[in-house]
Structure 1
Amino acid sequence: MSDVDVVVFGSINEDVTVHLARMPEAGETVGGRTLQTGCGGKGANQAVAAARLGARTAMVGSVGTDPAGRRQLDALHDAGVDTTGVRLVGAATGTALALVDDDGENRIVVVPGANELAPTNGDLLRDAAVLICQLEVPVPAVAAVAAAASGFFALNAAPAMAVPSALLARCDLLVMNETERDALGAIAPSGYTAVTLGAAGALLLRDGREIARAAAPRVEVVDTIGAGDAFVAALAIALARGWDPRTALEAACLVGADAVQHPGARPPLHPLEHYRPSSD
């Protein structure tokens, strides 16, 4: 086990994925090749990624009492994630509908369901050495959890939306893609801000100044859905462990590149040390 305890507060979804040759234009109908049902939610994906990277990991969130909820709990447990912080509620388990084309690009629609009732109190959240959140649960819930947390706090600002300045101020790490950065128009005032750039890699800022940039390795892209969540988990753990920021960013990009070579939202990963650049 790692010396870093990770708790992820966030969404747990049933994923419905359609694979197709290309994305439809507005008003256009195209044929799909396959339809798959699986496990997802940015929160749950990040929890599984953290566990696969070698961290002792717990999930806090909500699922319904429907069959989908049971499937999600079983999948988290099988991945080595502690699910004692997951609440069963009287609402349908969250669902994500994804389109994935032949280039590995995706379009996703999320119906939150039970995620809107995620619990915001408890020792797991307050005492976590590393707490990772996203925005697929209500922003006030994320803000409350962040305010009470005592450890390293990482926020993945996805999906793109406005967040309170107090929440940004609490971030030790704020992670966004370019679209989310444009929508949010902010940085973590006292911590790190990472911006993912797709095939161009990622950059890391501190106090609004770029301190590191890492290229994305050239790999065959199969599916990009799980890459961002794997990147977030890797970067949060590496920085919390005290890795040099450039080394942490390069390792997280390697994790993301590994993730896109596998289908699905929860790709197989190596322990984080495997991705540490050999030059470090």
Structure 2
Amino acid sequence: MNKKYQKLGLFALVSALFSGHVMAQSPGFNEYHHIIESERGRNIARQISSNVFNRVSNQLLSEENAMYTASLGQTPLAASADKGSILDAVWTNVSWTEISNDGISGQGDDDIYQFTAGVDKRFGNLFVGLTTSYAYTENEVGGIGSQGDVHTVDVTPYVAFVLSKNIFLSATTSYNYKRTEPDVVGINNDKDTDEYRTEVTINGVKSINNWFMKGRAGGRYRHTDDSFDAGNGVGLDNDQDEWTYLVDTEVGYIISKGLRFYGGAL
């Protein structure tokens, strides 16, 4: 299980099988809620994107270096694709993320529990796959004594094309449905959110003896369509568009079979 903590606003990520815990400031509940909600959506998208990136990059590194294959707990033969099988890979990932805020008027945190599963098939240099993800978020705002639950379901088809043994292009397109069920004192307004995402990246991998490196750069577009239940039969809609530029690097060292140490920046 991955454990990752985010800092809202200026964001930094260091992963070496563990992460640091950071806090964020916000002047009030409304702004706090907006920032937390935005970061929650980014985190879910980031987890799915990272899983797809790791799936393809791990395959290429395994083909380049048998030591990397062993570090995944596989044998070189097991890492190769079975040309007669319907699928070449079935994979899963479980993560826990905590997003915290220590603002005086909006203290609280989000705990995000996310499960992602994926399958893919390789046709020469082309990978074609599909991921599905479910995320449960428990939201607590201690400053005003409120809490709520958020349920998110995501479906993401993806493709990757290998340009060389060290470089590949990847693209994803996603549909995401989110149900927000707040429990604020005196107010219980549920909200449905439809999100559409597209991401394109160029990726690089390299292995030298026990060392390996990964990197990618690209962009992600998110469109969200919120539908609020304001009570008394009144509904409110709110649309939002967001562009994110992606730069992600990772350097690692293979310690022994089944064991790697790595650190990265996003």
TM-score norm. by structure 1 comes to: 0.26
User: Which protein has the bigger helix share?
Assistant: 1
User: Which protein has the bigger strand share?
Assistant: 2
Q: Which has the larger radius of gyration?
A: 2
